Structure 1
Amino acid sequence: MLVRVLFAALFLNCKCANITIGRNQRGHQNLIKCITSTIKEYFTTGSSVAYVDMNPDDDELLRGLHSTATVPLVLRLPTARLPVSNSGYLITARTVEAFCNGFKDMLRDFKWNPSARILIVIKSLKQFELKTIFDVLLKQHVINVVVVNGTDDALLYTYNPFDHYGCGRNYKHVEALGPCLQTDTNLFPNKLVTGLRNCTLRASVPHRPPFAINPARVKKGTKMGAEQYALQLITEPEEIKVKYTYDFDFETYTTITPDSEIDGPLDKLNKGEADVMFGSAMVVLSRIEAFTFITGYLDVNDEILFLVKRSENVPAWKVLYLVFQPSFSWISLNIRFLLADQPNGPK
C-alpha cells in the first residue's frame, strides 16, 4: 500500500526584529476590504472557513469581517478540536512568534487540512520573518497559502516550492504580490506546473513478498514486488525517480494519539525521512485523518468481525464430567424412560 504524507511534526523557534513592513496605521479599512474580497473570491466553495484567532485581545478585524463577509466563518482557537474539516483557513496573529506557537497547536488537530487554501494575517511582520513563515509552512507541505501584513497597506506574499523543479522541498524566493487591493494576480493558482518531474522520491520498503521485495534477500527470481511495480508504472511516465530503502519491519503497526503524535514506521513520513511508505495496515480513523492511502490494485473485501475472548483450556476429565452432569436434557430423558416403563405409557 502506498502512502503519501500529509503532515509532519513541527518544532521551530521563531525570532522577531524591529523593522516592520508597511505603515502600522490605526485604521484597517483597506485590510478588512482586502480580506473580505479575498475570502469572497477564493473561499466560496466547500465548507465554511475556519477563523483561527491567535489574538484573543484584538477583535477589531473580526468585527469588520462579520459585518461584511459573505462566507460563513467558524471562530476557533488554535487548540480547539472540532469534528469537522475546513476547506479554508483565515489565521490572524500579532507576531510571527505567536503564529509559530499557535500553528504547532493546530497541527495536533485530526481535522487539520494542509491542502486547504490558507490566508495568514500577521499584524507585526518583519522583512526577514517572511522566510521564517514559509519555512514553517514548507515543512507541513502547505502550498496554497498567502501571507498578508496586518497594516492598512495589506501587502501580499506567497511562495511556490514546485517552481524550478523544487519538488515541494525547497523554494528560491518569497514572491511579493503587491498591495492587496491593487493586484490582479491569481492568489491561489495551480502551483504544480512542473509537478514532480525530475524529482526523486524516497521510498521506504519492507520485505513483504510478493507485494514488496528486498533484492538483497532474494537469490533468484524477481527483484521487484507488486507494489513497487505499481509505483514504477506511475513514476516512469512522469519522469520521476525513486530511491528505495529497506529498513523497517512491516509487522510493526503505527499508532497515532488523539494529539496526532505518531509512533511506528509511519513516523518516517512525519519526520521527513521518507516520501513514500509501502506496507499494510488497517485503515482506521486515526490513520485516515493523518495520511492519504493509495489502494485499488488489489481486491479488497469489506467485512464485520466480532472479536470474543478465547475460552480457557479444560482438562479431559472435566470434559467427561461436564457431559454427564445434571442438566435439563438428562432430566427429560429420564422422565421419558420412566413413562415408557408404565403399562399405559407412551409408545
Structure 2
Amino acid sequence: MKKGLVKPLLIFFTLIAIGSQAYTQDIHFSQFFETPLLRNPALAGIFNGDVRIQAVYRNQWNSVTVPYQTGSVNGEYKKPVGKGDDFLTLGGQILYDKAGTVALQSTHILPAINYHKSLSAEKNMYLSLGFMGGWVQRSIDRSKITTNSQYDGTGFNPGLASGETFPRNSYSYLDGSVGMSFNTQVGENPDNNIYIGAAYHHFNKATKVSFYGNPNYEMIPKWVGSLGVRMNINEYSFFTLLGDYSKQGTFTETMAGALYSWRLDDIEDPKYILHGGAFLRWKDAIIPVVKLEFKPLSVSVSYDANLSQLKTASNGRGGFELALTYQKHLDRYNTSADAVRCPKF
C-alpha cells in the first residue's frame, strides 16, 4: 500500500498548495463529493453501482443576513456498452438557489452524458469524457430592493424612485460544461482507487447574463481540477482523500480534506459504514463531516466554521449542509455488479 500511495499523496497535497483565494462566482457546496456533476460531468458514473441519486441542502449566513438557501438533486444511471468493458452513464443535475435580502433566485436543469473507455484488460482503468448542458433561469424581487435614491433627509422613503432602470425581473440562458477524468485501481486490491479529472464549465460563454440585458456581459468560463484517492487501511477501515481546485476569472477556490471510514458489520460486503473527517476551504472555512451509510442509503451532515474576514460578524458560523444518497446495483441482466471491470470509486 505504501508504494501505491506515494504518487496519489503528492498530487493531493500539490492540489492544496496551489490555491490562493476562497471565493468563486458559481454555486458551490461544502460536501462537493456529493455533487459530482457540478465538479465535472466526467465524474458521472464513477461509483460502485448501477444507479445513484443524491440530494444536498445548504443553509448559509443565517447569523449575518437573510440566509442563502441552496438545493441540489443529481442522478446517474450506468450501463455497459457493447461486448467489451466500456460503460455509458446518463444523468442530470437540478439546482435551486435563493440568496440574500432581494431574493435572487437561480434554477438550473442540466442533463449529462459520460462515456467510460476501458484502457486495460487486467484491471479497472478508465478514461471518461462527459458533457453537461441545459437551461438556467435567474430572477430577482424588485420590491425588496432599496437604494441610496430612496433616502431623503429624514431617512428611508419608499415613495421615492429607486433610480434603477433594469428592464426585466428575470432572464434565462443555455449553459454547457465538458470534462475528462481518469479512474484506475491502485495495486492489486480492487477497493483501492484513484481518479483525477479536469472540467471546463460555461464553455459556450452565454451572453446577456444580466438584468439590464447588456449584450456585453457574458458568463465567465470556469476550470475545475478534481482528485480522489481511496485506500484500505485494514479489513475494517479505509480512508478517502478528496480535493478540488477551481478558477473562474480572477476568482479561485481550493478545497480539500479526508474521511476515515469504518465497516461496522460484514467486512466483505458491509451494509453499515461510518465516515468521519474534515475539509478545508482555503482562507474561508473548516468543515467537519459525519456520514453514515446504511445501504442502499446514506446521510451526511457538515457545518462550515468560518475562518474568513467575515468571522467577526458571523461569530465563526457559516453554512449547514445535509446530504442524502441512494446508490445500488439493479436487479437486471448485465448489471455492473456482474462485470469483471467497471468504473468505480
Q: Taking structure 1 as the reference length, what is the TM-score of the superposition?
A: 0.23
Give 1 or 2 for the bigger CA radius of gyration.
1
Q: Taking structure 2 as the reference length, what is the TM-score of the superposition?
A: 0.24
Which one has the bigger helix percentage?
1
